[in-house]
């Protein structure tokens, strides 16, 4: 092997090592970002129509675990949301079929991942009429929700208070959403992050 050939071979080896190192760093950064900063999620159900549809992909900011009113949030619900049993409220006198929405979650956290909208903050007093939330006596902004369609799960006339450190979550598709009405508010420590962007399908790319 000539000197020029040896230099060329060494240069190629260095370039290959540099490429492998660059790819490894990029993969490491991507995993780090997904683990601690931004994570993608797929919408599994119709509960957030018309805002986001089944199969749509969103990004959640994992650094933001103290959401504001009307934020769309990714979280682990309480175990009262787990199938196959009907939703379980921490207060058996509240929830499905009762005059009051559930104001107390079951103690344990589910391994499921849900995505809903924050409609009640810690300390808020809530009533629900035909799927519309009245927060501290003020009717919510309902421009983003689908009609509840009537029925006992749409109206909870007796007021509840959201406990300290908890958030009341509801889907925008009020007649087709399994949410805090039935299994209670979500503790702040169960919040994964606030969804801020949708990237799939291409015709729905944009902020949330």
Based on the fold, state whether residues 30 and 47 are members of the same structural domain. Answer: no
Based on the fold, state whether residues 32 and 45 are members of the same structural domain. Answer: no
Model confidence at 60: pLDDT above 70: yes
Give the model's pLDDT for residue 157. Answer: 95
Q: How many domains does the chain contain in total?
A: 2
The residue ranking higher by pLDDT, 79 or 30, is: 79
CATH number at residue 134: 2.10.109.10
Based on the fold, state whether residues 49 and 27 are members of the same structural domain. Answer: no
The rounded distance, in Å, linking the Cα atoms of 184 and 80 is 8
Give the model's pLDDT for residue 110. Answer: 96
The residue ranking higher by pLDDT, 8 or 86, is: 86
Which sequence positions are flagged as catalytic? 47, 116
Q: Mean of the per-residue pLDDT values for the chain?
A: 87
Domain that holds residue 20: 1-36
The rounded distance, in Å, linking the Cα atoms of 200 and 47 is 18
The rounded distance, in Å, linking the Cα atoms of 192 and 75 is 5
**Helix or strand or coil: residue 88?**
coil
The rounded distance, in Å, linking the Cα atoms of 154 and 130 is 5
For the entire predicted model, the pTM comes to: 0.84
Model confidence at 22: pLDDT above 80: no
Based on the fold, state whether residues 96 and 161 are members of the same structural domain. Answer: yes
Q: What is the mean pLDDT of residues 30-35?
A: 45
Give the model's pLDDT for residue 151. Answer: 83
Per-residue pLDDT reduced to its tens digit, 131-152: 999 999 999 988 889 999 888 8
């Amino acid at each position: 092997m000539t000197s020029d050939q040896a230099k060329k071979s060494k240069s190629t080896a260095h370039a290959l090592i540099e490429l492998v190192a660059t790819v490894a760093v990029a993969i490491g950064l991507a995993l780090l970002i997904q683990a601690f900063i931004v994570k993608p999620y797929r919408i599994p159900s119709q509960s957030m129509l018309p805002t986001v549809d089944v199969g749509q992909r969103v990004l959640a900011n994992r650094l933001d675990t103290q959401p504001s009113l009307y934020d769309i949030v990714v979280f682990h619900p309480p175990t009262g949301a787990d199938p196959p049993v009907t939703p379980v409220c921490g207060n058996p006198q509240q929830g499905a079929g009762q005059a009051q929405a559930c104001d107390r979650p079951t103690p344990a956290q589910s391994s499921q991942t849900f995505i809903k909208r924050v409609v009640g903050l810690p300390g808020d007093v809530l009533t629900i009429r035909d799927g519309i939330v009245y927060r501290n006596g003020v009717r919510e902004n309902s421009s983003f929700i689908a009609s509840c369609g009537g029925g006992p799960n749409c109206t909870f006339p007796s007021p509840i208070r959201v406990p300290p450190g908890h958030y009341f979550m509801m889907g925008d598709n009020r007649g087709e959403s399994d949410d805090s009405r039935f299994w209670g508010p979500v503790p702040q420590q169960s919040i994964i992050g606030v969804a801020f962007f949708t990237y799939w399908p291409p015709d729905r790319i944009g902020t949330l």
